[in-house]
Structure 1
Amino acid sequence: MFSTYFKEANTIRFLLIVSSAVFLISMIVVLVHGDRLLLGDPLKLNNDDVKYIHSARVLINESTLAYNSGNEPSTFIMPGLPIALSGFMAIFGEQYSGVTAFRIFQAFLQALCIFPVYYIARYTFNHRAAIITSLLAAAYLPDYFTSGSILTESIFRFIVLILLCVMITALHTKKMGWYIGVGLLTASAAYFKPQASLFPCMMLILWLVHRYSFKEIVRFTLTIIGAYIVLLVPWWIRNYITFGHFILFTSSAGSPFLLGTRIQYQPPSAGFFAAFPQYEPNTIFIGSDREAVTKGLDILKYGLVHEPLRYIHHYTIGRLHSLYMVPFYLHDIFSIKKNIVSNMQIMIVLGGLIGMFWACIRKTGKTLLPVLLTVFYFTAVQLPFVAMSRYGYPMAMFFLLFASYMIYEVISVFQTEKTNKIEVKEYV
């Protein structure tokens, strides 16, 4: 299917022009803004980006993956970004040059994203909608901030887009190689964000819709799982050798589930601490992962019984607003203020929701399922945990896709009306 969509010379030329423009702008952002895009202080190590840089340096010099642990080994995070960043530092230097080279690499990935975006949009809708999606994607300002940041979002978003393309191709070709690719890409995504691990589960729905046999479902499921395990085995071996027990992904003191119970970043109400005297306001969010789950469940039990509307709103509308309505745009690019980008984000999401609703009504084919299931999966997997624009960023491209479909439909209506008027005039 890749060759089918990318064999037209005009399409390739268009995509190369758009992706080149994205790379050029991203490069300008990287070179002009540089370390001003950092969210933390390299000396204080007070944010994820500067901690990643420190981890990469420790990995080069001590051969130790450390994060929030000085120079001691930890499993606080997945190792994908420190490993990738340390590779560029090893070649170009541990200071500014190495970090800049990594940012340029991210700029290149942002440019490459135009191709899977076009592929997914064309598969889902048609060529014209895919063209509109590609243009809107190139104009999406948070992408240029992400190019210059030192966070997992840029690489993770790229892997997810490629993974979805591979899943679609595997679905239609039924070739073992593509399903091996699904497993390997899922594991690659998990090295940056482990919540991607169950993403291929949506293949079960697609297999049933496309009438796969039970034998085929079992064979391809085992293929995906096998490839996934092979790529994650080095991480599991490292954890077992270092800590003496099996650690699937991470083990940290900050539980996203427990922290996600905070409404407007505040601790539970006074009534909760009266009902659960074993907890104290100043220590409720401190402790191990095991304790955190119990604490979080207790907070939810109390909240859903005594403040149901507040907690239901927090885990539905509040979560969706934090994930998608707020742009992942934490520093101004070329003096474009965040309130402008915020208004654009709201328009994109609302347009995407309208386009999604309209597509579900007008388009009943199977090609709509992969993108709908992708948005549903990554939304559902994030709802129980901390929600912020950073975690919703990878799905922004899919709202752009549906907003583009809405634009395409509006243009088609006007073109049809114009054609009808011309035909009426000619008839008269």
Structure 2
Amino acid sequence: MVKKNNDDVKYIYSAKLILNEGTLAYNSGDQPSAFIMPGMPLLLAGVMAIFGQDLTGINAFRILQCLLQVFSIYLIFIIGRRVFSTRIALITCVICVLYPPDYFSSGSILTETTYRTIQLLLLCVTFVALDKRKTSWYALLGLLIAAAAYFKPHATLYPVVFLLLWWRQRTTWKEMIRFSVAMGLVYIVCLLPWWIRNLITFDKFIIFTNSGGSPFLLGTKIRGTLPPDGFFAQYPQYDPKTIYEGYDSAAVDKGMAIIKYGFQHEPLKFLYWYTLGRWVELYSHPFYSRPFWPITRPVMNVIQYIMMLMSVVGLVWAWIKHPMQRMLPLLLILGYFTLIYQPFVTFNRYGYPNEILLFLFLAYGIDRLFYRNKPEQDSLINGHWGGTGIR
């Protein structure tokens, strides 16, 4: 019997439990839980309801993810053409087609492929909403934010990026309020089923999950090590064997104690870990747990490092040379979905959805390197934000 100790196996088990027992559970046997958001188990259960609960249903889900990967390439082309040029958009698409972790992601039973597609749609609709300045587009944004939150709840605060975008666009206060209400109301309506289910099942209001303390606590764990020397002498109530266990408010208390002690006794180490170290963990390691020939994991590690380094160079180059008004929404969504992880555990799976956005800057650097004496292919489109570029 396969042990339910990996996320992919747990998702499959949860999906089958939904179909057979009508119960949403994760990390709790067959008892209801709110350990994770329900997006992935429900999506997988929907596919398995059509194609069966055996390997056929699982492979059907993998095919769905392949289609989402193809759709993501189309979306990144649209974004690249909008922000930069058709040529840079095409270079980005080639990079994505050749990027081995995308093939691994398609075959894994995890949230990353679906969530990345929603995030790209979110950026596309953001461009259109800024251009059209219509309430309906902001209502659609509320729907997409809710859809993203059903997979990863940290997407909920995405509307904060509009504060700067609206200021740059000189949006009126009336429009800001109307657009914010539209996003908020649609988001609330979409999340209501989850809130009602939790209220009925657990007799308390759970806005997202009851496991939020675990990512925060695990985020204090620096490369698999225990807290700094002397921590357990100062905090004898904690045990080295169980220090990183738990997911409720007690886990938050442990995490806060580790952070406080760490910054007092190893400030440079913890400062690095909670700034640059977080970015390194997100982006420098490929999401590539099952390598395929001929790209082994060590080879992919080197490729990933080079690609991320070149992406950073391209980002700086674009920051200096490219019109900021066209690039700002892209920078803000990339910045938001990077900074939101600062207090929590970070690793390659969490950085993977953002990498496709970084590839735009890698493509920009390649384009400028080979066509440095030529202007970008597309002329700026009329309009405050350069036009949607989305037809």
Aligned partner of 2:206 among 247, 271, 274 = 247
The aligned residue for residue 278 of structure 1 is 237
The aligned residue for residue 228 of structure 1 is 187
CA deviation after TM superposition for structure 1 residue 203, in Å: 1.3
**What is the Cα-based RMSD across aligned positions, in Å?**
1.4
1:190–1:197 contact (8 Å) kept in structure 2: yes
CA deviation after TM superposition for structure 1 residue 269, in Å: 2.7
Q: Does 1:257 align with 2:224?
A: no
The aligned residue for residue 368 of structure 1 is 327
2:213–2:252 contact (8 Å) kept in structure 1: no
Q: Deviations over 1:65-117 (max 9, x none)?
A: 01111111000111001001011111111110000000000000000111210
* TM-score (normalizing by structure 2): 0.93
Three-state SS of the structure 1 residue aligned to 2:278 is helix
CA gap of 1:350–1:100, structure 2 versus 1, over 3 A, is: same
Structure with more helix by fraction: 1
Deviating beyond 3 angstroms after TM superposition, the runs of 4 or more aligned structure 1 residues are none
Aligned partner of 1:348 among 292, 307, 311 = 307
The aligned residue for residue 101 of structure 1 is 60
Match for 2:253: what amino acid?
T
The aligned residue for residue 385 of structure 2 is none
2:11–2:41 contact (8 Å) kept in structure 1: yes
Three-state SS of the structure 1 residue aligned to 2:230 is helix
Structure 2 Cα separation of the partners of residues 126 and 385 of structure 1 = 35
Q: Does 1:386 align with 2:330?
A: no
The aligned residue for residue 388 of structure 2 is none
Higher relative contact order (CA 8 A, sep 6+): 2
The aligned residue for residue 200 of structure 1 is 159
1:355–1:403 contact (8 Å) kept in structure 2: yes
2:213–2:249 contact (8 Å) kept in structure 1: no
The aligned residue for residue 33 of structure 1 is none
CA deviation after TM superposition for structure 1 residue 320, in Å: 1.3
The aligned residue for residue 136 of structure 2 is 177
Match for 2:174: what amino acid?
K
The aligned residue for residue 145 of structure 2 is 186
The aligned residue for residue 210 of structure 1 is 169
Q: Which ranges of structure 2 fall in alignment gaps of 5 or more residues? A: 376-391
Q: Does 1:129 align with 2:79?
A: no
**Number of residue pairs matched?**
375
Q: Does 1:292 align with 2:271?
A: no
The aligned residue for residue 101 of structure 2 is 142
1:183–1:228 contact (8 Å) kept in structure 2: yes
Structure 2 Cα separation of the partners of residues 149 and 335 of structure 1 = 19
CA deviation after TM superposition for structure 1 residue 129, in Å: 1.0
CA deviation after TM superposition for structure 1 residue 253, in Å: 8.1
The aligned residue for residue 74 of structure 1 is 33
Structure 2 Cα separation of the partners of residues 410 and 348 of structure 1 = 15
Match for 1:152: what amino acid?
T
Q: Does 1:405 align with 2:369?
A: no
Structure 2 Cα separation of the partners of residues 149 and 203 of structure 1 = 34
Aligned partner of 1:305 among 264, 277, 294 = 264
Q: Deviations over 1:16-65 (max 9, x none)?
A: xxxxxxxxxxxxxxxxxxxxxxxxxx621111000000000000000000
CA deviation after TM superposition for structure 1 residue 189, in Å: 0.4
Q: Which ranges of structure 1 fall in alignment gaps of 5 or more residues? A: 1-41, 417-428
Match for 2:200: what amino acid?
I
* TM-score (normalizing by structure 1): 0.85
The aligned residue for residue 380 of structure 2 is none
CA deviation after TM superposition for structure 1 residue 285, in Å: 2.2
Q: Deviations over 1:244-266 (max 9, x none)?
A: 01000011386100111011112
Identity across matched positions, percent: 49
CA gap of 1:253–1:409, structure 2 versus 1, over 3 A, is: closer
The aligned residue for residue 326 of structure 1 is 285
Q: Does 1:47 align with 2:15?
A: no
CA deviation after TM superposition for structure 1 residue 364, in Å: 3.2
